[in-house]
């Protein structure tokens, strides 16, 4: 197996600006009318900093999936063709504001190749520090997973999931006190991809998603679902509260073939909310926890 230990500890810093125009794009995508006329200095909803720092590469430097080819300039040069953002752990010290010039300092905390039933996978964890206005605004640990092509068993399982979903065979694995249905479509996925400059073809190129990666439809972005869960807290579960911490983990994919759902329970004794999404057949797809303050 590949040894990526020499990549651990690598760091880099990037600077980008929270542009009001892109904030408005996200506001339209997420049905957040209070952000549709975003102006400089306006407070940003939680998670919208994900519009920043997408890797940028010339068309000629892209891999088959639409992402920049992995050359080892910062992240390890993995050979596995499929990738996913598997989760994040975030802490906000302040809120970002429209117009902020944000510096993100990133460090590779771990990079390891492991072997399992589905072949070899590479797990990478990045730590980000995000600063603006001379202060630390947020910290994030981000987990990335690189996997091989889907095998026959995985493709068959996904085909069965699609059959169940399209037949209306949906039974929520668990239902929260608060819940909301989301109907994804190619326009929603394209808008989020555009706002975050995400070229990953599984989110907008149906032929590629189905014929190359073996999915039954377009894949709903993990951070899109995480953003919807954050918005669910801010607008429905605890309106007016400020999210201080948010952790999420992607367990299984969700597709644009049928609606999916967001869920949340009442806070526990420590003031934390359990949140999750259920996929096209009602299985838990993304698990999350959030801590808020009034």
Give the phi and the psi of residue 98 in degrees, each rounded to 5: -55, 135
Residues sharing a CB contact under 8 Å with residue 275, sequence separation 6 or more, in sequence order: 176, 229, 232, 233, 237, 262, 263, 264, 265, 287, 288, 289, 290
Of all residues in the chain, the percent with pLDDT exceeding 70 is: 100
What was the pLDDT predicted at 63? 87
Cα distance between residue 203 and residue 231, in whole Å:
21
The residues facing 264 across adjacent strands are: 178, 275
Predicted pLDDT of residue 13: 97
Give the model confidence (pLDDT) of 252-272 as tens digits: 999 999 999 999 999 988 889
How does pLDDT run across 230-247, given as a tens digit for each residue?
999 999 999 988 999 999
Mean pLDDT of 8-19: 97
pLDDT mean across residues, the chain: 94
pTM of this structure:
0.95
pLDDT above 80: residue 165: yes
Structural domains of the chain, with CATH: 5-293 (3.10.129.10)
Residue 169 CB partners (closer than 8 Å, separation 6+): 281
């Amino acid at each position: 197996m590949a040894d990526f230990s020499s990549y651990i500890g690598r760091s880099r810093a990037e600077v980008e600006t929270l542009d009001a125009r892109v904030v408005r794009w996200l506001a339209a995508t997420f049905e957040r009318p209070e952000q549709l006329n975003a102006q400089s200095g306006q407070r940003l909803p939680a998670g919208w900093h994900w519009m920043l720092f997408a890797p940028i590469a010339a068309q000629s430097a892209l891999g088959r999936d639409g992402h920049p080819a992995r050359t080892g300039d910062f992240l390890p040069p993995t050979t596995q063709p499929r990738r996913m953002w598997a989760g994040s752990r975030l802490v906000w010290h302040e809120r970002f504001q429209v117009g902020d010039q944000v510096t993100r300092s990133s460090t590779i905390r771990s990079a390891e190749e492991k072997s399992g039933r589905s072949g070899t996978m590479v797990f990478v964890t990045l730590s980000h520090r995000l600063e603006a206005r001379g202060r630390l605004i947020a910290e994030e640990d981000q987990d990335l997973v690189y996997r091989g092509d889907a095998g026959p068993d995985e493709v068959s399982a996904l085909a069965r999931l699609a059959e169940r979903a399209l037949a209306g065979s949906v039974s929520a694995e668990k239902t929260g006190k608060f819940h909301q249905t989301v109907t994804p479509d190619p326009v929603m996925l394209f808008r989020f991809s555009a706002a975050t400059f995400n070229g990953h073809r599984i989110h907008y190129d149906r032929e590629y998603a189905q014929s190359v990666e073996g999915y039954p439809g377009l894949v709903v972005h993990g951070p899109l679902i995480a953003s919807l869960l954050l918005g669910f807290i801010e607008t429905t579960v605890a309106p007016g509260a400020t999210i201080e911490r948010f952790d999420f983990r992607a367990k299984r994919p969700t597709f644009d073939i049928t609606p999916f759902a967001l869920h949340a329970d009442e806070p526990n004794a420590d003031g934390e909310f359990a949140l999750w999404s259920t996929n096209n057949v009602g299985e838990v797809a993304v698990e999350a926890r959030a801590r808020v303050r009034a």
